[in-house]
């Protein structure tokens, strides 16, 4: 994947964004809106954007006006200015990268993506995480200061251990902002993710959003997660669900197949530099994850590289047998194969030349079901030896390695 700075004009000045792409040209993009007083740099935002980029989308996350590295003063912002920033981000993405097809919003950012979605024609899907049904819901975060704000026009409050100035204009704006009109106009699929134990935005907000939205709409419970998705497993789960769900509404037009790569490219990108988990995108269409067991430092969130190799051999074997049975009219009802792998010393391998090195040894146990004669069973076992992946593993392959300029 490739990560680059993405600076663009916002409602009150320059906005600082991060664009994550799969490393090749794309025809669809995503805008991620962070939570109230947060920034694009919170761990949950990074994990979700990485997962969507691994699926073949260009993903922009940015700091709203007055937050993070963006220009402007927070006390001069409002819910409507956040919505304006999102609209400008979408316009800039369409101009410089690709039209935004998916909007993802966390907390108040979720309310903002619902509000802006009807104004962005290219949007096909919207996902919210822990979003309030009404923007005014956030007033409970600084309820003790409401009287001071009313009396003085503004007051400094502490949110997440940091000072912020909240103005009466800000309160008036969130009091007058409603999501029901936007939900009624929303011409896009909606995914609502919310934790039933969210202590900041009660899950009843998700029920209200879901009730007022039109189909197609879906709800996913982030059971046990906190509002900020600080748990790595919770953030990964939300990211995976959004990516899988979005695939139904954002089909990939270009699979990357070419004369040089007839099966399409396979993109592998690490999930976290601190571990071994890898997101895999195959032909810009199919997603899976590779990892290592916990006892050697992995997180066991997917098969190991050797297990993937075993799976490739097994899948190719059953496909080859099925194809042959169909051509020869063999009454094969079902075929399965169990593949094991280990290292064996060359002196134990009768088919190998003598030497001190260990070789990879794969064992296939093939199960055939059907009214098959001994001759037909032998024929099917023999054809398994001609499986293309089998031939590749037995032959000497050439692997060419180059240094890519793409990060």
- pLDDT tens digits for range 175-189: 999 999 999 999 999
- Alpha carbon separation from 134 to 99, 114, 173, 201 (Å, rounded): 28, 11, 11, 10
Cβ atoms of 188 and 170 closer than 8 Å: no
Q: Are strands 100-106 and 29-33 parallel, antiparallel or unpaired?
A: parallel
What pLDDT, on the 0 to 100 scale, is given for residue 256? 58
Spatial separation of the C-alpha atoms in residues 28 and 12, rounded to whole Å: 27
Q: Within its chain, how far is the Cα of 73 from the centroid?
A: 32
**269 CB contacts (<8 Å, ≥6 apart)?**
1, 22, 50, 53, 54, 278, 279, 281
Q: Pick the most confident of 48-52, 210-214, 261-265, 293-297.
A: 210-214
What pLDDT, on the 0 to 100 scale, is given for residue 258? 60
Spatial separation of the C-alpha atoms in residues 197 and 176, rounded to whole Å: 28
Is the pTM value of this prediction over 0.75? Answer: no
C-alpha triplet 242, 219, 200: angle, nearest 5°: 90
What pLDDT, on the 0 to 100 scale, is given for residue 267? 81
Cβ atoms of 320 and 391 closer than 8 Å: no
Spatial separation of the C-alpha atoms in residues 395 and 98, rounded to whole Å: 43
User: Please, what are the domains in the chain?
Assistant: 2-246 (3.40.50.1820), 305-394 (3.30.300.20)
Per-chain mean pLDDT for the chain: 89
- pLDDT tens digits for range 78-114: 999 999 999 999 999 999 999 999 999 999 999 999 9
- pLDDT tens digits for range 11-43: 899 999 999 988 778 889 999 999 998 989 888
Q: Pick the most confident of 70-74, 315-319, 400-404.
A: 315-319
Above 50 in pLDDT, residue 61?
A: yes
Spatial separation of the C-alpha atoms in residues 253 and 248, rounded to whole Å: 13
**270 CB contacts (<8 Å, ≥6 apart)?**
276, 277, 278, 279
Above 60 in pLDDT, residue 347?
A: no
């Amino acid at each position: 994947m490739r990560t680059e700075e993405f600076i663009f004009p916002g409602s009150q000045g320059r906005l600082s964004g991060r664009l994550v792409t799969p490393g090749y040209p794309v025809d669809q993009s995503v805008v991620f809106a962070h939570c109230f007083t947060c920034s694009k740099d919170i761990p949950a935002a990074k994990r979700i954007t990485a997962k969507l980029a691994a699926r073949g989308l260009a993903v922009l996350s940015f700091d709203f006006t007055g937050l993070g590295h963006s220009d402007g003063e927070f006390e001069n912002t409002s819910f409507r200015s956040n919505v304006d920033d999102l609209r400008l981000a979408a316009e800039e993405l369409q101009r410089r990268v690709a039209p935004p097809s998916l909007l993802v919003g966390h907390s108040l950012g979720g309310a903002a993506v619902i509000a802006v979605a009807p104004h962005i024609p290219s949007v096909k899907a919207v996902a919210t995480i822990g979003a309030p049904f009404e923007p005014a819901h956030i007033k409970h975060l600084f309820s003790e200061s409401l009287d001071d704000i009313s009396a003085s026009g503004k007051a400094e409050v502490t949110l997440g251990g940091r000072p912020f100035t909240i103005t009466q204009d800000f309160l008036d704006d969130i009091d007058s902002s409603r999501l029901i009109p936007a939900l009624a106009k929303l011409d896009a699929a909606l995914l609502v993710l919310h934790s039933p134990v969210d202590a900041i935005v009660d899950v009843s907000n998700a029920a209200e959003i879901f009730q007022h939205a039109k189909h197609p709409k879906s709800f996913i419970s982030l059971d046990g997660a906190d509002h900020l998705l600080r748990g790595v497993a919770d953030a990964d789960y939300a990211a995976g669900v959004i990516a899988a769900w979005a695939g139904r509404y954002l089909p990939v037009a270009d699979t990357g197949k070419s004369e040089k790569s007839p099966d399409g490219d396979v993109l592998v990108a690490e999930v976290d530099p601190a571990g071994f988990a890898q997101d895999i995108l195959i032909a810009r269409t199919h997603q899976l994850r590779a990892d290592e067991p916990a006892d050697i430092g992995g997180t066991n969130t997917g098969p190991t590289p050797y297990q993937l190799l075993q799976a490739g051999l097994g899948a190719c074997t059953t496909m080859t047998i099925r194809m042959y049975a169909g051509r020869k009219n063999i009454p094969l009802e079902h075929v399965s194969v169990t593949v094991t792998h280990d290292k064996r010393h060359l002196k134990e391998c009768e088919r190998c030349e003598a030497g001190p090195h260990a070789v990879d040894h794969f064992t296939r146990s093939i199960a055939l079901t059907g009214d098959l004669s001994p001759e037909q069973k032998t024929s099917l076992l023999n054809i398994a030896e001609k499986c293309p992946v089998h031939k590749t593993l037995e032959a000497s392959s050439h692997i060419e390695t180059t240094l890519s300029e793409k990060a």
